[in-house]
Chain A
Amino acid sequence: MESVPIDTDGGPQVVLELIYRLKVRDVMTTDVVSLPPTATLREAQIIMRDRGITGVPIVENERLVGIVSIGDIIEALDGGWIADAAAKRMTEAVIVLEADMPINFAITYLNRYGYRRFPALDKDGQLVGIVTAADIIRALLVEMNREVERLEEGLSRRRRTAEPGAGISGGSSSNVDPSMPGATDGGLASEVADPPADLVFQSRKFDFETAGKASGGLKKALKVLGVEPMTIRRAAVASYELEMNQVIHSDGGSMSFHFGAGTIEIIAADQGPGIPDLDAALTEGFSTANEWIRSLGFGAGLGLPNARRSSDEFSLDSAQGRGTTVRALIRY
């Protein structure tokens, strides 16, 4: 099995919650056999045969330096270089996962790169496991069973209490889509339309796929209002930084936009864990983001300072265990 047929972007809410909640370390195989670069492909072949696996990581000084796959072995048998050292024939540019990534990354990688397995590294770059599609599907089935059981229980409880007309509660699919009037083309920028109703968007921890939707929605709404470009930019920067902070650091939260007379109020409220040191968090260059988040170009410690600089009023309320609420006001 080479792919995981799950939509990591849309798809049912329950499944989405699962693939963001489960981490690579929750599903990976930790009993990993590796070989040094000096080992021969024959040795790799024997390990694969005896253990029924399809790839062997090559490790030197506790660092992953390559991988020998069953494809490499077949080629070696065919080409007559099965006695060569692994170092000579292994795949060196290995795409890896980090153990604390949510498994939606693993699913995306499997479907995207066509490799059947990805080594998982810990924060220090040490090999701690291997993830295959089978590992992910097994873990997901277990969790889905549990989740379906829970939903069925809730359903039968609801049937027993028989509340007619009561909606299903739970789940956070309350992405209120902005239903904006059509954009006004032409130069009537000074003609300001009626302020739209509040917009509310939900954000999810480590969901880099849909991150930015709230800020995109805000930008569109302000364009329709005829707000001047530099103000739109300030609002978009403040909003995007606060939104990314929720994705990177919080357990999920919401972005609300309130349109007043000549003001945009942004309320970014999350469910925790809260900021331990507010002064540090507002200092440029201070960041608690981990390595793989930084590799995406985030977590440079510029977020909150950027958001504050872009706002006319800015306040931050946070307590550990309670969550963080940021209010940013932009005037135009």
Chain B
Amino acid sequence: MRISELSSVFGFECIQDSYEDVELHDGYTSDLLSDVMAKAAQDAVLITIQAHKNTVAVASLVGIRAIVLCNARPILDDMIEVAKAEGIALFRTDRNQFQVSGLLYPAIHGKAG
């Protein structure tokens, strides 16, 4: 699936839309940034509640292309600015991390499980 499908198919609110609409090959769900650094794949979507600019720094360093912020967390302006500069897409949803992971898994990996 492409990044833009996060809003066109799944209805997540796009908060930062200056990004290259590439194919997502994987996803990672975590609120621990060191865990994200160690384990997340490249060209992945990150599912998290960490709505601050350090999350963007970590995403940029490991090659994450899009971040979905769960539980309708308020997103700070400086996070949006940094994401724009790095070309990382930001989305927000009122769903939680478990629900978003479940939704995206089949779309990225073909079938659940």
Contacts and interface: CB of A to CB of B under 8 A. Distances in A.
A178 B33 CA distance: 26
Interface string A226-267: 000100010011001100100000000000000000000000
Contact of B57 (A216, A300, A302, A303): A216
B61 A241 contact: no
Contacts of B60: 216, 219
Given A233-B42, A300-B34, A240 B57 contact: yes
Interface of A: 112, 208-209, 211-212, 215-216, 219, 229, 233, 236-237, 240-241, 244, 296-298, 300, 302-303, 306, 309
B4 interface: no
A233 B42 CA distance: 9
B61 A215 contact: yes
Given A237-B37, A296-B54, A302-B34, 8 more contacts: A112-B77, A215-B57, A219-B61, A233-B61, A237-B62, A240-B37, A296-B52, A303-B34
A241 B62 CA distance: 12
B31 interface: yes
Contact of B35 (A244, A296, A302): A302
Contacts of A240: 37, 57-58, 61
B42 A297 contact: no
A219 B86 CA distance: 13
Interface of B: 31-35, 37-38, 42, 48, 50, 52-55, 57-58, 60-63, 76-78
14 contacts: A112-B77, A208-B52, A212-B58, A216-B60, A236-B62, A240-B61, A296-B50, A297-B55, A298-B34, A300-B32, A302-B34, A302-B37, A302-B38, A306-B37
Contacts of B61: 212, 215-216, 219, 233, 236-237, 240
Contacts of B54: 208, 211-212, 296-298
Interface of B is mostly: helix
Among B34, B42, B61, B76, the most chain A Cβ lie within 10 Å of the Cβ of B34
B39 to A, nearest CB: 10
Interface of A is mostly: helix
A203 to B, nearest CB: 13
A297 B55 CA distance: 8
Nearest to A302: B34
B101 to A, nearest CB: 17
A229 B42 contact: yes
A303 B38 CA distance: 9
A246 B35 CA distance: 18
Q: Which 8 A-B pairs have the closest CB atoms?
A: A212-B57, A302-B34, A297-B33, A236-B61, A297-B50, A300-B32, A306-B38, A237-B37
A300 B55 CA distance: 15
Contacts of A296: 33, 50, 52, 54
B62 A233 contact: yes
Among A208, A219, A236, the most chain B Cβ lie within 10 Å of the Cβ of A236
Among A216, A229, A237, A240, the most chain B Cβ lie within 10 Å of the Cβ of A240
Contacts of A303: 34
A216 B59 CA distance: 11
Nearest to B82: A212
A298 B57 contact: no
A252 to B, nearest CB: 18
A38 to B, nearest CB: 31
Contacts of B37: 237, 240-241, 302, 306
B57 A112 contact: no
A66 to B, nearest CB: 19
A3 to B, nearest CB: 14
